[in-house]
């Protein structure tokens, strides 16, 4: 046996190593001993953190040499900069922060410890609050952007709705999502129009199904199979009628000629004027 000659209380150690600096060191059978401290445990087939006596014995584990309180990590990576890092089984570790979660098969945002672990997700590296998005695109300029499954994302605004198979108005976050519709890029309040034309100069224009639209005014009526007086929004829609383009107050004229130079010209029709008047009154009521 080896004997510690500096103290009468040292145990006799058969085939063991002895810590010559302290009489309270345990005898260690086939173990390594931390020579700087008597309270180090005997470690069977383990590595020992030589800088601190309180380090645990770690069987087949890596040890964080800079801190004695680091956990023993079985097949895990250890964040050498912080002792509070969790042991991570098959996980990546954010070396810049000890509070980073262990992430199984996940990507980790190295710039922030609060980033969520994201399984098969993309991570917005500029912000820790970004949601994990499964098969989704992420708006890197804003952490509050919604995760959008198979959707387009308006990168200029975090409040944009996720739009499934829809077009998105990149200039305004309040634009409605429009399924198979055209969108008025100049105004977010434009209605979504299914198979309709849209007046790009005004958001209040009605959606017109198979109709022509007066592009100069949003209040123009939608006219089904009718001509529209492009100079005035108050012109009536005229079914099969001619329109006096110089004046918005001109009546729609059925089978009549129109005096283009004057809106007050009477419309004359050969035949029974009472019948014509009755028909026009009926059309006006419609």
With contact defined as beta carbons under 8 Å apart, do 33 and 49 qualify?
no
Instruction: Reduce the secondary structure of 142-174 to three states and give it as a string.
Output: CCCCCCEECEECCCCCCCCCCEECEECCCCCCC
CA distance 230 to 263: 15
Q: How many structural domains compose the chain? A: 1
Q: Is 239 helix (H, G, I), strand (E, B) or coil?
A: strand
CA distance 228 to 251: 12
Which helix or strand (DSSP H or E) is residue 283 part of?
helix 273-285
For the chain, which ranges sit under pLDDT 50? Answer: 1-11, 13-26, 28-41, 43-56, 58-206, 208-221, 223-236, 239-241, 244-251, 254-286
Asked whether residue 53 is domain-assigned, the answer is yes
Asked whether residue 33 is domain-assigned, the answer is yes
Asked whether residue 63 is domain-assigned, the answer is no
Q: Is 136 helix (H, G, I), strand (E, B) or coil?
A: strand
Question: Which of 60, 57, 59 minimizes the C-alpha distance to 70?
Answer: 57
Asked whether residue 208 is domain-assigned, the answer is no
Contacts of 51 (CB under 8 A, 6+ apart): 36, 65, 66, 68
Asked whether residue 20 is domain-assigned, the answer is yes
CA distance 171 to 156: 7
The reported pTM is 0.17
CA distance 167 to 150: 12
**Confidence at residue 266, expressed as pLDDT on a 0 to 100 scale:** 42
DSSP 195-215: TEE--TT-TTPPPEETEE--T
CA angle 34, 38, 41 (to 5 degrees): 60
Domain membership of residue 14 as a residue range: 1-58
CA angle 92, 94, 99 (to 5 degrees): 115
Asked whether residue 8 is domain-assigned, the answer is yes
* Burial per residue of 98-132, b for 16 or more beta-carbon CB atoms within 10 angstroms, e otherwise: bebbbbeebbbbbebbebbbbeebbbbbebbebbb
By DSSP bridging, strand 43-44 and strand 118-119 are unpaired
Tokens of 167: 């077009």
Asked whether residue 38 is domain-assigned, the answer is yes
**Confidence at residue 130, expressed as pLDDT on a 0 to 100 scale:** 39
With contact defined as beta carbons under 8 Å apart, do 178 and 151 qualify?
no
Asked whether residue 164 is domain-assigned, the answer is no
């Amino acid at each position: 046996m080896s004997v510690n000659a500096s103290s009468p209380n040292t145990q006799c150690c058969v085939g063991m190593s002895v810590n010559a600096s302290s009489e309270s060191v345990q005898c260690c059978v086939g173990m390594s001993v931390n020579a700087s401290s008597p309270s180090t445990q005997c470690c069977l087939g383990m590595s020992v953190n030589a800088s601190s006596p309180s380090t645990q014995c770690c069987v087949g584990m890596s040890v964080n040499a800079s801190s004695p309180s680091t956990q023993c990590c079985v097949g895990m990576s250890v964040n050498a900069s912080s002792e509070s890092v969790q042991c991570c089984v098959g996980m990546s570790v954010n070396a810049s922060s000890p509070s980073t979660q262990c992430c199984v098969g996940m990507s980790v945002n190295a710039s922030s410890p609060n980033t969520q672990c994201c399984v098969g997700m993309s991570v917005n590296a500029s912000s820790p609050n970004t949601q994990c998005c499964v098969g989704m695109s992420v708006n890197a300029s804003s952490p509050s952007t919604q995760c959008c499954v198979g959707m387009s994302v308006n990168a200029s605004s975090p409040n944009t709705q996720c739009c499934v198979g829809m077009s998105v108005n990149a200039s305004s976050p309040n634009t409605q999502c429009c399924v198979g519709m055209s969108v008025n890029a100049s105004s977010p309040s434009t209605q979504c129009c299914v198979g309709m034309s849209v007046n790009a100069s005004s958001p209040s224009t009605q959606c017109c199904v198979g109709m022509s639209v007066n592009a100069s005014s949003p209040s123009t009526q939608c006219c089904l199979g009718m001509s529209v007086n492009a100079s005035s929004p108050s012109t009536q829609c005229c079914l099969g009628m001619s329109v006096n383009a110089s004046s918005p107050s001109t009546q729609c004229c059925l089978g009549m000629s129109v005096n283009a130079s004057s809106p007050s010209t009477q419309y004359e029709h050969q035949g029974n004027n009472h019948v014509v008047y009755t028909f026009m009154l009926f059309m006006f009521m419609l």
